[in-house]
Amino acid sequence: MKAAFLRWPDPRLRKAAEPVEAVDDEVRDIWNKMVAAMEAMPGIGLAAPQIGVMRRLAVVDASEERGHVLRMANPELVSVSEEMATIHEASPNLPGIGADVLRPAACVVRYLDAAGEWAERAMEGMWARSVQHQIDHLAGRMYFHRLSRLKRDRLLKKAERGQIFS
C-alpha cells in the first residue's frame, strides 16, 4: 500500500496525534510504510499524521548515505540549544511551497525506540531540525506556524494561487 500525503488544510494536520501505548507489530508496520513514503519524497523525516495516521510516530534519516532511519514513538524534546539556526523547510502536505524557519540548532529527544524501550539522543544539524519539525507535526503544527503572521499569510496565499517559490 502506497502512503498518500494529506493536503493542507486537511483538519487532521491541525490535530495533536494520540500517544502510542506500546511498540508492537502494527507500529512497526506503520513505521515501515512511513520510511517508504519518506524515501519516495525524497525527504529526511516524516510524522504519521502527514499520511493520515493520528499516532505519535515519526521517522528521521538525515544521514548523508541514508539507511540510518531513527524510528520514534512518542518523541518529546528534553532540551534545546540556545544557539539558533535558520534553514529552509517544506512539507509534502503543502507541496511546492517552503520558507526559512528559525529553530534551535541542537536538541535532545526522548522517545520509545523500535524495541519499545525509552531512549534519549542528542542531535544537531539536520537531525535536530527534522526531529523538531516532526514533533511539530505530531502536535498539529506545520513549519509555517513558526513564521510571523504576515509571512505565514503570504505563503499560504501563494500556495492557494498555485504560485511555487523557494
Q: Is residue 23 predicted with pLDDT exceeding 80? A: yes
Q: How many CA atoms lie within 13 A of 101 on its CB side?
A: 23
Residue with cell 517544506: 90
At 98, is the secondary structure helix, strand, or coil?
Answer: strand
What gap in Å lies between CA 20 and CA 14, rounded to an integer?
A: 19
Q: Dihedrals φ, ψ of 161, to 5°?
A: -85, -5
> How much is the average pLDDT of 20-34?
97
> How much is the average pLDDT of 117-123?
98
pLDDT confidence of residue 96: 86
6, amino acid identity: L
pLDDT digit string, tens, across residues 55-104 = 999 999 999 988 899 999 999 999 999 999 999 999 999 998 899 999 99
Q: Give Cβ neighbours of residue 159 (< 8 Å, ≥ 6 apart).
A: 8, 94, 96, 97
Mean pLDDT of the chain: 94
Q: Could you tell me which residues are beta bridge partners of residue 46?
A: 59
pLDDT confidence of residue 166: 35
- pTM of this prediction? 0.93
Q: Which of 49, 18, 74, 33 is nearest to 142 (CA)?
A: 49
